[in-house]
A and B are shown apart, each in its own frame.
Chain A
Amino acid sequence: MAQLTLLTYRRGNTPLFNLDVRCKVICLGMMTISGGMAGWHGLALLTVILGSLFHITGLSAGSTVRGMVFFWILLGIILLTRSLTTPGEALGELDLGMVKITLSREGVAQGAMICWRFICIMLLGILFSTTTNPSDLKLAVEWLVKPVPFIPEKRAGMMVALFVRFLPLILHRAKEVSDAQGSRCGALQKNPVKRIVRMGVPLMNKIFLSADRLADAMESRCYTEDSTKRDFKKSGSEIYFYGASSLLAAMMILL
């Protein structure tokens, strides 16, 4: 049985789950843009709102934090780089003889703000993907991409829906390969390039084989881009979400 990932849709019955996916996309867009422009107070407000939404949705903060391990590493690198490369008041110095590294107060502040923005945007994404059924996501992608010329919107929608559907399977396959190598002392290999190659080649092989089988299974079931179209589901509370999101976005930018 494949494990659910942080981004996997979970069924629920709170307003966020039942919201029209177009409304979710528009609200997500507004929050992401205003979150990217917000200062400390705006980010604090967004964090409180996100915390409340996570609580209402029933998502566990602990498992969310644990599931973002690689993201934390990336944020750590961003914070360190900003702190060391931004000029300003020195908080500390490290003399390596040839090179002197200075940790600046402005750099730490800037890095922390960028990281906070990234965390908020990531949490918005997690909230969106865990409360949005992939088939609604497919409809949303089709709706978003339709005005863009030269992009087949139905194919794009199907690709996104399949990616979300098969993410747990890909991770499951990756774990299988990793366990198989671990059981043959793969961890003793210290060269990171060799480790990546040894992990990557069989994993890609498995993924391509699964993709081939999936294509066959879809063909067998008469796959066509012109299938029966589902309608967007509306909950009736969309207007309140539009209003609340607009107000929140304005406050985040102005605060």
Chain B
Amino acid sequence: MKLAINWRHEIENGMQYLKMLENILEIKNLTHIYPDTGRGIKNISCSLKRGEFVIVAGGNGSGKSTFFRHLNGLMKPISGQVLLHGESINSSASALRMARQRVGMIFQDADCQIVGSTVYEDAAFGPENLKLPLRVIHQRVKDVLKRLDLWHLRNQNPATLSGGEKRSLAIAGVLAMEPEVIVMDEPCSNLDYPATLNLLSCIKELHRSGRTLVIATHDIEKVISMATRMIILESGEIRADGSPEHLVKEVEKFGIREPCTSKLGMVPAIMPWHS
């Protein structure tokens, strides 16, 4: 009997491990060149596993935002494809819709991402588009707003929120759709110190809850201690892909600032931005 329970436990652990290794997103030879500038992304291939925390680092114009816009089908590639759970996101309208639900995107400019006239309505925008019943929408919105400490602001006009609160609302709007992957484009830009700390703790919490996170940034110092993987883009191509510990000393070659702890030779080279 005891042996059977042990076996079962081992099998469950193994299944969980296999699930962790499962590729959620696979990007195959993705290319998108803007005809007017000749810039864009070239032949990008990589895959994202469940529970990973990936930093996509690169200087301005390296192709980070263009790459991200392909992950939920906002842009169509010239060649190559993005597979979500093995299915091309551009294969059908339902696949595209699924990709937009499963891959939540948080843009750099929160002002342009907030659609609702109140905090509550903005968080409800995504679930309403998924045609969920009103009862379920209310429950989801209540949960995410409470989780991000926005519930007391639920009736407020988003125009009156601070920069940090707007960024939190943008995250809440995406979380209410219950995505598997959360993609953030320069999440810490234009935020003051307390707002950045709040955002970082929110990101940490999201990762702990098992979500796959992909964050684009040129300032890796704030998030590198949480990341499990770093992809470096330059001129639209992947120049390096590996663990942050291995790549941290090389980032300055690609126009990315090396974190202070690493630069000063501290051990370990990667430490939390704020402890």
Contacts and interface: CB of A to CB of B under 8 A. Distances in A.
A4 interface: yes
Contacts of A223: 129
Contacts of B62: none
B159 A222 contact: no
A2 B111 CA distance: 10
Interface string A159-198: 0011011001100000000000000000000000000000
Interface string A23-41: 0000000000000000000
B117 A135 contact: yes
A164 B134 contact: no
A2 B162 CA distance: 10
B117 A222 contact: no
Interface stretch (A140-148, A224-232, A245-253): A224-232
Interface residues of A, number: 33
Nearest to A228: B128
A11 interface: yes
B157 A220 contact: no
Nearest to B158: A165
A165 B116 contact: yes
Given A9-B117, A11-B155, A165-B116, A221 B74 contact: no
Contacts of A218: 115
A230 to B, nearest CB: 7
A18 interface: no
B111 A169 contact: yes
Interface in B134-163: 134, 137, 155-157, 159-162
Nearest to A168: B159
Given A4-B159, A8-B157, A165-B117, A222 B97 contact: yes
Contact of B118 (A133, A217, A228): A133
B115 A216 contact: no
B127 interface: yes
Contact of B72 (A162, A165, A220): A220
A217 B137 contact: no
A221 B159 contact: no
A214 interface: yes
Interface of A: 1-4, 8-11, 133-135, 161-162, 164-165, 168-169, 210, 213-214, 216-224, 226-228, 230
